[in-house]
Structure 1
Amino acid sequence: MLSKEDVVQIYQQHEQLWSKMSAHSEVTWDLLPWPMYRKPNSAEEITSGAVDAYIMSPHYPDQDKSTKDRVRQQLRRWHEDHFNQKVLSKVNERDKERVKAAAGTVTRNLNNLLERANESKKAGSSVFA
């Protein structure tokens, strides 16, 4: 079980990795700030539950952001068009297919979360506010 301090530190590390991403000439699997608390080893380890927990955490940075805004922020980073141009193009060849598959999994999980948030709003629930 992660402490609040552990979770906050993970978010800080992820923000630092994103802010320095453009400076890297080569990117590896381990350098990517996967939106979950434990670094996955494969696309199969990136589950909707893990991504949901990361996005919906009460310790997520900018706590005043709604779940939908949090998802949108992550989608801007992981969406195929942006990700392939800004990140995947720098991924070393041995990691490229694995990273591409995993980034696709992240995007699908984020889109599913956004869809659930939109449905929740339509139904009048505030779980995803």
Structure 2
Amino acid sequence: MANTRSRTPIPPHHRPDCGFSPESEGADHRKTHRRPWKHMADTYVWVEHHCAPDPRRRKTEKWVQEQQVFHPPPYGWMQEEEAAKRSIARESERARMIQEELRRIEERIRHRRETERRRVAAERARFLGEVQQKEKTEMVFREAWRRYEKGWQEILANTTGEITFSTIPWPLATRPTTCEDIDLKDIREFLMSPYASETQVTAKERIRKAQLRWHPDRFRRVLERVVVDKKQVEEAAGIVARSLNEMMAA
């Protein structure tokens, strides 16, 4: 039986009369001198897709494979490809490191901003607290001084009324309840306060006027009107007189 083979035209470069000429040899040679098996590879593909099975096809396949082994792609091309891959990998790693450094810088900036914000908030709160405390202290001392002056005016104006420990205007910012609540430190803080008096400007004037009020000879007239806790009032008055003498000496 005659062999029924496909009549598909043979590729031009594989035909015996493919039109080879010395003039075209240079251009073709320049294109294929690095891959001399290129035309045969194309022929093999053409045979694979257009020809019926043929024992001779195995010879063509074998020849193409041998050409690929004997004439592999240039080694320099493989080196260039590997170098390009390594370059891409290095650039990727460099970009990653840059992004990581930028992230750390942004984190440090955020941390410094947050720290500064907290510091400013704490400083503001401290300042406001000091202002409020100052205003409160000023109010306390102004009220204590007003009560102190008014109390002495009432005692000197009313020479017959009874006096107790709690009604005596002690030179303190807060009212004492016993002798133990009166000491030199509290007396000095009261008399030296800038909010204590509007008429007695200097500290010496304040101490001198207080000495006249709390001198034992002058305070005896007040002590005579004390009915309850007289001994305690006398002891507390002695503490005040001695404290004023120490302050004047200083």
Give your verdict on TM over 0.5.
yes
Aligned residues: 114
1:96-125 per-residue CA deviation (whole Å, 9 max, x = no partner) reads 100000000000001100100xxxxxxxxx
Q: CA deviation at 1:65?
A: 2.4
Aligned counterpart, 1:34: 170
- Gapped regions of structure 2 (runs ≥ 5): 1-132
Letter of the 1:33 counterpart:
P
User: Over alpha carbons, which structure has the higher Rg?
Assistant: 2
Q: Equivalences for 1:1-129 in 2 at 5 Å?
A: 2-22=136-156, 23=158, 24-62=160-198, 65-85=201-221, 87-92=222-227, 94-116=228-250
1:46-100 per-residue CA deviation (whole Å, 9 max, x = no partner) reads 1111000001001011365221111011111111000012x101011x3110000
After superposition, the Cα gap between the structure-2 partners of 1:81 and 1:40, relative to the gap in structure 1 and judged at 3 Å, is: same
Percent identity at matched positions?
30
**With structure 2 as the length reference, what TM-score do the two structures score?**
0.43
Letter of the 1:91 counterpart:
V
**With structure 1 as the length reference, what TM-score do the two structures score?**
0.81
Instruction: Point out 4+ residue stretches in structure 1 off by more than 4 angstroms.
Output: none
CA distance in 1, matches of 2:176, 2:190: 13
Secondary structure of residue in 1 paired with 2:224: helix
Q: CA deviation at 1:41?
A: 2.1
- Gapped regions of structure 1 (runs ≥ 5): 117-129
